[in-house]
Structure 1
Amino acid sequence: MSYANRGMSFENLIEHTNMQYETMGLAVVNKRPTPIRVTSNKHGRVTGFFEKPSTVDFDGTLAGGRSIVFEAKQVKLETRFELKNIEEHQVEYLEKCHRLGAVSFILVEFESLRTIYLLPYESLKYYWDRRQSGGRGTQSIPLGDFEVNAWEVKPGRVPVDYLPIVYKIWNLGAA
């Protein structure tokens, strides 16, 4: 694996990847801005606040017209992904899009391991529902489960080459 872009944040690396995908004519995927309302008071001081919860980090369209939505998470733990790192409204948004036929997933980078996984919405939903029922061991997804229920994303023609996995999982032909 090449670590030439190691200094870039995970989301910036994905944005760079998405720009390359767009240049290649494979997809148009954009970072969604967080909805913030900017206000000013009578003294001219500018302030802002989160207007409403954001949906997910990225959305767009694949070649052929299929929608794609995903959340990107970077974790420092080597052994698991804490489900508290994803918000309920984000899971709900992924579910809504999934039900309408979109390609929905999360990308999780285990930063210290320098490993990225694509976890399809269906797998995330299993762990999310299990968390909601409570109990010991339901608050996170162990790394070993990623190795079984997710797909490792390796660099290829782009730094975070997730599209070949998307095309394989969702039977979309070739990227």
Structure 2
Amino acid sequence: MQKNRSQISRVNNAQGKNFENQIMSACLGYLYEGRACIDKIPEPFGVSKKDQQTGMFKGRFFGNKKAQPDFQGTLKGGKSIIFEAKTTTKDKISLKVLSSHQEALLEKHYQLGAITAVCVGINNDFYFVPYALWRLCKEQWDRQYFTKEDLKEYKVRFNGAVNFLDFVNGNNVEFMKEFVKG
């Protein structure tokens, strides 16, 4: 039996929400440690109708076109950080998963010296990919995706939380030059 598009969409949405929750768990840990204060940016939402008597309302999400990158905050010492979160069950992550608006905002923050990245989940492995590498792939390589092998240097620790500031190789985002404009 083949899944219809709405079933696939629900599964993908649930997977994305789970991934974001795993990232938010790391954000809480970093806040507790005094290492960072990073917040999930709410999805664009608008109220279309409100009942004045009950306070109930109807609304809708505006979709990807106006979406901001998913997370933004500050690391200890004052450095800004902004990143998008994307996950897939496929064996590679397409560069097309970012909207043009998200790319433009990451680019602006990158140009201003913020730590910018895409937090990626590929089949239960997690990576924190510098936006500088993401844009290089798009501009100079002959393909529009990354594989796990391409990203192995940026694989992050996972303990139920996606610890995006801590790489399995022992490096930490705060001390890596490839995350900020040089």
Q: Normalising to structure 1: TM-score of the pair?
A: 0.77
> What's 1:127 paired with?
137
**Does structure 2 conserve the Cα–Cα contact (< 8 Å) formed by 1:37 and 1:50?**
yes
Letter in 2 for 1:159: A
Question: Which structure shows the higher helix fraction?
Answer: 2
Map residues 105-120 of structure 1 onto 2, 5 A cutoff: 105-111=117-123, 114-120=124-130
Identity %: 31
Q: Could you list the runs of 5+ residues in structure 1 that have no partner in the other structure? A: 1-7, 132-136
Letter in 1 for 2:89: K
**Does structure 2 conserve the Cα–Cα contact (< 8 Å) formed by 1:106 and 1:120?**
yes
**Does structure 2 conserve the Cα–Cα contact (< 8 Å) formed by 1:30 and 1:59?**
yes
How many residues were matched structurally?
154
Residue 55 of structure 1 and its aligned partner are, at CA, apart by 1.4
Residue 130 of structure 1 and its aligned partner are, at CA, apart by 4.2
Q: Could you tell me how far apart the structure 2 residues matched to 1:170 and 1:83 are?
A: 22
SS of equivalent residue, structure 1 residue 123: helix
Q: Could you tell me how far apart the structure 2 residues matched to 1:117 and 1:161 are?
A: 9
> What's 1:58 paired with?
71
SS of equivalent residue, structure 1 residue 109: strand
**Does structure 2 conserve the Cα–Cα contact (< 8 Å) formed by 1:38 and 1:49?**
no
CA deviation map 1:90-124 (0-9, x unaligned): 1111110011110000111112xx21111101100
Residue 141 of structure 1 and its aligned partner are, at CA, apart by 2.0
RMSD: 2.8
> What's 1:141 paired with?
146
Match of 1:155 among 150, 154, 158: 158
Q: Normalising to structure 2: TM-score of the pair?
A: 0.74
Runs (4+) of structure 1 moved beyond 3 Å?
none
